[in-house]
Amino acid sequence: MRVMDKRPKVSRRGFLGAGSASLIALSVLPTGMIVGADKSWAVTATTLKPETFATLVQMSRDIYPHDRLSDAYYAKAVQAFDDTAGKSEDSKAMFENGVTGLNEAATGAHSVAYAQIGWEADRVAILRGMEKSPFFQAVRGGLITGLYNNPDVWPLFGYEGESASKGGYISRGFDDIDWLDQV
């Protein structure tokens, strides 16, 4: 039996290089960029309002919560919503009006906008009240492919990717049972 260490490996050199590149990138952000509250993501919203984009990132994290994933992965998934809104006025209106409704529900329940609610359980309760709406279903459905089809997140979940191009699972990991307790 082969036991695999699926934790990401980050070297000191890689960490310093990424940190330096991030510092340079954050210092020269053009206008229109949205930077997350934890400064871990920066994207350009071309169609949706920056507040709408940031709320969709928070909503995405609340729908599919993964502590191992930074907001950057969620922002990349929400970028697809911004692209869709740029192609269709109906889609843009759905996202903008949906976030407006989400913020109205949050303000009615907690006197602050959705993204400012401090407790995840309170935000999830608001989402449960709107889970049958077309807006919620569009966001939830888009996140399935936008988040989980992202090859950058696969190593964080321990998924090695498709194996057909590498000879299939029989020759590559078919009998890996490292997830079982060692006896």
HSE (side-chain half, CA atoms, 13 Å) at 17: 5
pTM (2 d.p.): 0.70
Beta bridge partners of 33: 44
Span 22-59, pLDDT tens digits? 656 555 544 444 544 444 456 778 889 999 999 999 99
Measured distance CA(120)–CA(21) in Å, rounded: 32
For the chain, what is the total number of helices (H) and then of strands (E)?
7, 2
- For Cα atoms 96, 133, 51, give the angle at the middle one, nearest 5 degrees: 25
Write down the domain spans for the chain. Answer: 12-166
Q: What is the pLDDT of residues 68-95, one digit of tens each?
A: 899 999 999 999 999 999 999 999 999 9
CB 135 within 8 Å of CB 52: no
The C-alpha atoms of residue 182 and residue 37 are separated, in whole angstroms, by 41
